[in-house]
Structure 1
Amino acid sequence: MTYLGEGWDSTAELVDGWVVRRPRRPEIGPQLLREAAVMPWLAPRLPLPVPVPEVVSEEPVVVRHALVPGELASLTAVQGRQLGEFLRALHAVPVAEAAERGVGPMPLPIDRFRAEVRVPGGDALLAKIGGLPADTLVHGDLGPEHVLGRDGVLTGVIDFGDLHVGDAAIDLAWALNSTPPVFAQALASAYGVTDELRERALIWHQLGPWHEVLYGNDIGDAVVAADGLNGVLERLRTG
């Protein structure tokens, strides 16, 4: 057994070639079970390998999937084009079919944002969120730790715990705003990013650290919350 680490929601261990995941909090159990129901249907529609979990136990919740190979991607132009094609395929999946498998919208904790993240310009950003579309199947948490590569190409995309019906631009937030220009430009070209999508992606990029503040508060970790708040302020300044 090899301990692979933990995210906000689950822990992961490598056992006999399988990635075994367990929820870190009770409310995450149903999320892992939903992944096990949805990913076998979704995976064949996507041009890169993704985890396809199977249920080991429902009480307690344990799921496992084959290891998706690779390390953190180097974010080259080739990889940008690959991720653009991947997102185009994901965002083309019929929402109605996803809904039949239990995938729906993911409401934002707007009231908590207002109460716990009080910063200059914050209300203006939250006002923009209310008018954004929610009509696309999205990964929902696409960042550098979830995009794997090897030998100059992408080898997979992982962690679909936040898969939901939302704004396509949420999956472009990191890719367009926190990656090398050569990667971002290749992705934008392959996906067909419009000016409107860029504007919405920036809004989601600015909102990202707000979740870290709430997570730090939830687990009682003042350092995590403070890091999140610093990120909120930095992105509002530079956005």
Structure 2
Amino acid sequence: MTTREYLGSGWDCDAVLVDGVWVERTARRPDVEPWLRTETTLLPWLAPQLPLPVPAPVVVGTDPLVTRHRYLPGRPVPDAAPGLGATIGAFLRALHAVDLDEAVARGLPGPDRTLAMRDASWARFDDEVLPLLGSPERTWLAGRLDVLRDAPATVVVHGDLSADHVLADGDGITGVIDWGDARAGDPAKDLLWPLHGAGAAVARAAQEAYGSTPELRRRAAAWRDVAPCYAVTHGLDTGDDDLVRGTLHALRLPGT
């Protein structure tokens, strides 16, 4: 008998574990389905080029669209996991070195699309998020947005790398999941969490393994600061007032 265990839901997909072996993902909205299909061509090509396992999904249903990949064991990695910084730094170095044109040919959103999406997001942040803040926070956030207005889109990025999307067990890191935001992008966006969210020891090791520059670190810090804007606009789109209020509270001047 087939067993099905609910794993959770994100903004885009619902996930269930089938027979303890397969992860099935179903799009929560029609506009997510094209990306689920893209994952089935992009990730199997990408996986052999990376030093950590990633999902390699296939389509198993079409109405609605359902994809399936082998379950990657582990739980969200703790920030104090041994070797985390060096492992993630090496993983990102390999990811950012893959052939961007080949990835775009397999469905990855290319630089033009990424920059157009960023321009649209920044316009919304200017029009809908900044007016919700007090004057000091508004001035500070506007400056952080300006740092990234002309950021490059020159490498394949995961786009949403965090402790929630890196899995680990007692033997170390077991995989990197949730590639729904992968695209041509700014390498600094993938460095946000390891350099500015996982602690000083992880940041030092990741920086050494990756070889980050001061400019990359500056932009990574700016990505950290503007990230809550995405949650605010998502809350506005979905009518989630609690998400909007809670996220606005996070958009405070450093040290306040």
TM-score by length of 1: 0.95
Deviations 1:111-164 (A, max 9, x none): 111121113123222222212111011000001100111125211110111110
- Please name the residue that 1:216 is paired with: 235
Q: 8 Å contact 2:78–2:163 — kept in the other structure?
A: no
Asked if 1:23 corresponds to 2:27, the answer is yes
After superposing the two structures, state which structure 1 stretch, 93-102 or 115-124, moved more.
115-124
Deviations 1:177-222 (A, max 9, x none): 1112111111111111111111010011111111010111111110
- Please name the residue that 1:205 is paired with: 224
- Please name the residue that 1:60 is paired with: 64
Asked if 1:124 corresponds to 2:129, the answer is no
Asked if 1:97 corresponds to 2:102, the answer is yes
- Please name the residue that 1:237 is paired with: 254
From the superposition, tell whether residues 93 and 238 of structure 1 become closer, same or farther in structure 2 (CA, over 3 Å). farther
Task: Select which of 172, 179, 183 maps to 1:160.
Answer: 179
Q: 8 Å contact 1:80–1:187 — kept in the other structure?
A: yes
Q: Match for 2:91: what amino acid? A: F
Q: Match for 1:163: what amino acid? A: A
Deviation of 1:102 (Å): 1.7
Equivalent runs, 1:17-56 vs 2, <5 Å: 17-56=21-60
Deviation of 1:238 (Å): 4.6
Q: Residues of 1 paired with 2:199 and 2:168: CA distance?
A: 15
After superposing the two structures, state which structure 1 stretch, 8-17 or 100-109, moved more.
100-109
- Please name the residue that 1:111 is paired with: 123
Q: Residues of 1 paired with 2:233 and 2:179: CA distance?
A: 20
Say which one has the larger Rg: 2
SS at match of 1:47: coil
- Please name the residue that 1:13 is paired with: 16
- Between the aligned residues of both structures, percent identity stands at 44
- Structure 1 unaligned regions, length at least 5: none
SS at match of 1:50: coil
SS at match of 1:160: coil
Q: 8 Å contact 2:26–2:66 — kept in the other structure?
A: yes
